[in-house]
Structures are given as structure tokens and as C-alpha cells.
Structure 1
Amino acid sequence: MTSQPLEPSPRPVPPGGLRASHDDREAVVERLRDAAAEGRIDFDELDARLEQALTSRTHAELAVLTADLPQVDSPASRPPLVLKGGVYGASRGPGRWEVPGHVIAHGGVGGVKLDFTRVECRLTEVAVEAHGEIAGVTVVIPDGWAADTGGVDPGIGGLTDKTTPDRLPGTPLIRLTGTGGAGGVVVRHPNRRERRKLESNPAQGQVY
């Protein structure tokens, strides 16, 4: 009996060697345009760097193009927003609030509500870690936004996803993880009462 040859194990990808996505390239393009507007690079150099950005295949190739530019404070790099329902509950929104790249919500006894309907978010993705616990967590997203709920363990309270998959270009994806606990996790678009408030005052609070 002859033994089968072992297949070679995949080699680890070196730092910066990961393949860049369309969003990664677009983020660098935007940063280069901002740098030109600030007078940090001239327009001839901007054209050359933009061409390189659009043809870059890896993160390392993209990093070279902005290595001599100041680092910018982006929402994705900010600390997570942590909400704890406690006894009396907690909420963020509707209204003007700054959306970080990561939100952690613990329903506690009072519950937590996250309402994104009044924000303008430039992130391509927002990670929401929701733990329903006793009273649950509710996440409200605007029409045109989409949610990925594959990372949520329903628990006893369950997971209720009332969103539509019709994501508009340029809107963020809400990537949900966590556990339903006893209270459950709900993600949905605005209900009738919330829509009436939006229609009565459509200009209230736009941000970020």
C-alpha cells in the first residue's frame, strides 16, 4: 500500500500582501484627492498616484501611496461605542451622533435601542455586537441599508431580521454578531410611527 503524498500547506501571507478590494482602493483615492486639495501634493503627482492606486493589487502597494501623508482620524479607527441597558435602558439616536466602526450593545434589564436613521455614515461597514440579555437589543437602519445577521447566536430570545437586502450603493453594511439571550435581537427598518417623525422633520441631525 503506497502512501499518498502530503499536499503542501499554504504559505502565510506576508504583512501587506493581502489582496486589496475595490473599497480599499477607493479609500486611498479619496485620501489622495484630499491631500491634493490641502496642497500636500501637486496635480501631476496626484494623477500618477491615482493611476497606481487604481491598479494596485495588495495593501502594501496601496500603503506606499499614502506613506508620506499625515494619518487621518477615521471613524473606523475610533474606540468602540459601548451601550449598556442596565436597569433603565439605553439608546443612541435618532438624531445626530457619530458612528464608529464598532458598536457593542448589552441589553441588560432595560434594553438597548440603536437608531441609525438620522446619520450619514461614510463607513463601508459597521460592526454591531449585540447581546440581548434580559430586555433585548433593537437596531433600526434606514431604507437602503442592509444587515448581515449570520454572526448572531439566536439564544432563547431569538433573532428577528425585518430588513430588506436591497442595499443602495455607498451605504454601509451593518454586520451583526453576538447573542440573543432571553430578550432577543431585532434589526429592522423604521416602523410607521418612526417614519411619521422622519417625514415631519426630515432635516433633523445629519452626520458623519
Structure 2
Amino acid sequence: MTHQPQKPSPRPVPPGELRASHDDREAVVDQLRDAAAEGRIDFDELDARLEQALTARTHAELAVLTADLPRPDLPGSQAPLVLKGGISGASRGPGRWEVPGRVIAHGGVGGVKVDFTRVACRLTEVAVEAYGDTSGVVIVIPDGWAADTSGMDPGVGGLRDETTPDRLPGTPLVRLTGSGGMGGVVIRHPNHRERRKLHSNPTQN
């Protein structure tokens, strides 16, 4: 009986050696331009790094270019957005707005609504702390985004998660924590009225 020689198993590729995509390069280019605008690097260094970013072949080559810069996808690298319902309520959206890594919403007496449907977000995760208080918090996320509500305390008002798990590649995961309080917390995709507005005026700011 003859034994067939075993073929060597393929060597796992370290993450840094994975090939970079056009989107990976563009994300680094955007981060470098933002860093120059903030005064973190001068314009001569920006030009040199941009040239390297546009010709980079692997993730490791891209990582070197931003290793000394704040990570834009880490909660805490940008000031959190804090919304407080107060007496008359508060909202953010549905126009275009810059999404930080962390959003804190207190429903208060007037309630809070956070609408992500028109934002362009490069983050891999968005941490949302929602406290329903008296009048509750409503969070609206686009189709294709997904939510993780396992860290949420429903409180007396409860938690209603009406989102679907069908997350599209390249979209953020909303990680929801906090407490429903008396007013409760709702996270959902756009309703019929909101969808009509999105379709009738898709470029609204």
C-alpha cells in the first residue's frame, strides 16, 4: 500500500500582508488630509504620505502611514455627541452630520430622536448610550446598518429593537447601551413616512 504525499497546507496570511483595496487606500488618504488640516502633519509630509498611500499594496504599508495619528474609528478619538431632551426635546438629523464614535442621548422630559439615515459614516462601530428617562429615545438607522442591543437595560419603559440583522459590508454596527428608563428606547429603520421623504428628496442636507 502506497501513501500519497500530503500536500502542505497553505500558510495563513498575516493581516498586515493582506492586499489593500481602493477603498482602503482612499480611507487612509482622507485620514491624512484631515490630519494635515488639523496641523498634525505639515503639507510636505502630507504629499509624501499621500504618494505612498496611493501606491501601497498591503494593509501593513498603509498602517505605517497613520501609525502616529489618532484612529478615527475608535470611540473616544473624537468628542462624543451629547443630546439632552430637556423640556422641549432634542434631535439630530435627518440631515447630513458628522458621526462621532460615541453618542449619548438622554430623553429627559421632551424626548430625543437620533436619525442616521442621511449620514456618510466611515466608522466600523458607533457606540450609542441611550437613557429613556421620562419621554424616551428613538434611534433611526439606515437599511443595511445593524445594531447590537445586548448591553441595553430595558428598564421600566422597555427596549424595542425593530432592526434587521442584514448588515451590508462597509456599514457601521451600532452598539447600544444604557437604560430604557420610564420612557423606553426604540431603535429601528425608517418608517413609511420617513422613507417617502428620503425618496422624494434624496439629496437633502
Where does residue 12 of structure 1 map in the other structure?
Answer: none
CA distance in structure 2 between the partners assigned to 1:192 and 1:142 by the alignment: 13
Where does residue 154 of structure 1 map in the other structure?
Answer: 154
Match of 1:51 among 49, 58, 66: 58
Where does residue 39 of structure 1 map in the other structure?
Answer: 47
Partner SS state of residue 133, structure 1: coil
Where does residue 173 of structure 1 map in the other structure?
Answer: 173
**Structure 1 length normalisation: TM-score?**
0.71
Sequence identity of aligned pairs in percent? 64
Are 1:85 and 2:92 counterparts? no
| TM-aligned CA distance change 1:150 to 1:45, over 3 Å | closer
Give how far 1:66 is off: 3.5
Any conservation in 2 of the 1:111–1:135 contact (CA below 8 Å)? yes
Are 1:197 and 2:204 counterparts? no
Amino acid at match of 2:47: G
Give how far 1:144 is off: 0.6
Amino acid at match of 1:172: P
Number of paired residues?
174
| TM-aligned CA distance change 1:67 to 1:201, over 3 Å | closer
Where does residue 99 of structure 1 map in the other structure?
Answer: 99
CA distance in structure 1 between the partners assigned to 2:173 and 2:49 by the alignment: 33
**Structure 2 length normalisation: TM-score?**
0.72
Q: Gaps (5+ residues) in structure 2? A: 1-13, 34-44
| TM-aligned CA distance change 1:43 to 1:176, over 3 Å | same
CA distance in structure 2 between the partners assigned to 1:198 and 1:184 by the alignment: 26
Where does residue 182 of structure 1 map in the other structure?
Answer: 182
| TM-aligned CA distance change 1:127 to 1:21, over 3 Å | farther
| TM-aligned CA distance change 1:53 to 1:89, over 3 Å | same
> CA-to-partner distance for each residue in 1:80-139, whole Å, 9 max, x for gaps?
000000111000001021110100000001100000011111111100000001000000
CA distance in structure 2 between the partners assigned to 1:143 and 1:41 by the alignment: 35
CA distance in structure 2 between the partners assigned to 1:91 and 1:146 by the alignment: 21
Q: Gaps (5+ residues) in structure 1? A: 1-18, 57-61
Partner SS state of residue 58, structure 2: helix
Amino acid at match of 1:180: G
Any conservation in 2 of the 1:152–1:178 contact (CA below 8 Å)? yes
